[in-house]
Amino acid sequence: MDSANTFLPVPPIPKAFNKQLQRSAVHLSLREGQAKDHPGGRDWDLNDRVTRYGSNEMPIPVTSVPMLIFHEMWHPFYCFQYFSIVVWYVDGIRG
């Protein structure tokens, strides 16, 4: 978040990321004792994964601070507190 309380967009994926991901997949498959001709790098193609699973985005609505305060003021717990304050105040005036 920046100083204006807005979310900043995630920077785009670097161009070399797909190659690094494939190299890491091949390295892990070789480390696990699989055959050297194992096509593990092809299983990690970024474009295929974006097509299959969609973009990794989560839209988060950002509400303003006054709206948050307004919504919190009417929470049942706080309404009970307001009622209690009124009862204590009225009881203090009578007694």
95 residues of the chain, pLDDT tens digit each: 556 667 777 788 887 887 887 788 777 777 666 545 555 555 666 777 778 888 888 888 888 999 999 988 888 899 999 999 999 999 888 76
Work out the number of other CB atoms within 10 angstroms of the CB of residue 49.
14
Confidence (pLDDT) at 1? 52
Same domain? For 2 and 41 the reply is yes
> In this structure, are 54 and 70 located in the same domain?
no
The pLDDT assigned to 47 comes to 76
Q: Tell me: do 77 and 54 sit in the same domain.
A: no
Q: State the pLDDT at residue 88.
A: 93
The number of distinct structural domains making up the chain is: 2
Contact between 36 and 30 (Cβ < 8 Å): yes
Q: Which domain holds residue 81?
A: 63-95
User: How far is C-alpha 9 from the geometric centre of its chain's CA atoms?
Assistant: 12
CA 64/CA 60 separation, integer angstroms: 13
